[in-house]
Structure 1
Amino acid sequence: MRDSKSMDWLHGRVGTVVLWALLIILESAGQIATKVGGDQLGQMTFTLHWLQAVIVDPGVLFAVGCGIGAFFVWMLILRRSSLSLAFPLSSLVFVGVLLGSWLGLGEQISLLHWVGVAVIIGGIALLAEGEQT
């Protein structure tokens, strides 16, 4: 039997940070996998053949798995956070996708995009500060 104290970290601040990291990773990976899967499928018209190809594409299947995992992590986050803070914090996924597409897919990111990342992070910092007061 597990000692309940050994699982306390999951319900504290560390657990919340782990859940947020997991959500950002799952959502970002899912978006990148959707892009990769779509690129692998190429230009196809919306037909039964296209639908069959989508259903068995590894990138698309991985993206669906990430989406399902992210849904359950999101439910856990909402149990411990207010929606008015959690939803804006979820915009960190935009940062994760941008970084993932830059590092993993070699996409070029403009200076304006980096400024947008700074604005998102700054806005989240302001929201988090306001939540603590």
Structure 2
Amino acid sequence: MRRFYILGFFFLMMFDTLGQISFKLSATAALPLEASLGWLYRIFSQHFVYFAILGYVGAFFTWMTLLRRAPVGPAFAASHLEVVTVMIASVLIFGETISLAHFAGALFIVAGIVCLAFAERDVIKKENEKS
């Protein structure tokens, strides 16, 4: 079961990150932003927009699969690792910088997920002892 969670959240992060980065690449390539058919044509002529759609569809199905087995609290928290992976990918792909506040926020996200995972493990352990 542990392998299922690790693989599931890995794929969820990757699909979410693919979607976010692909949307930014599509939007940048279709500039200038305007409410016109030409802008829509520029968006849908970019191959990145299809990767974005793939990312969101993949994330949806991965999330639905995880929710069937994973506890909702830790699963919801772990799904926010996407914020950290998108931040890292943005540095690598777009040359963006990470401020101290961004770094601290990423650490808080990871620390929160770790705390929830340990808390959930303790709850499961107590339930098994009662049985």
| Shorter-chain TM band | 0.7 to 0.9
Find out whether 1:70 has 2:70 as its counterpart.
no
Find out whether 1:103 has 2:92 as its counterpart.
yes
Q: How many residues align?
A: 122
Q: CA separation in 1, counterparts of 2:16 and 2:33?
A: 26
Structure 1 unaligned blocks of 5 or more: 1-11
Find out whether 1:126 has 2:126 as its counterpart.
no
Contact conserved, 2:26 with 2:49, CA < 8 A, in 1? yes
How big is the shift at 1:52? 2.3
**What secondary structure, in the 3-state scheme, does the structure 2 residue paired with 1:70 have?**
helix
Find out whether 1:17 has 2:6 as its counterpart.
yes
How big is the shift at 1:82? 1.9
How big is the shift at 1:44? 3.0
How big is the shift at 1:125? 1.0
How big is the shift at 1:32? 0.7
Q: Which moved more, 1:107-116 or 1:52-61?
A: 52-61
How big is the shift at 1:56? 2.6
What's the % identity of the aligned pairs? 34
Structure 2 unaligned blocks of 5 or more: 123-131
Q: Runs of 4 or more off by more than 3 Å in structure 1? A: none
How big is the shift at 1:15? 2.2
TM-score (norm 2): 0.88
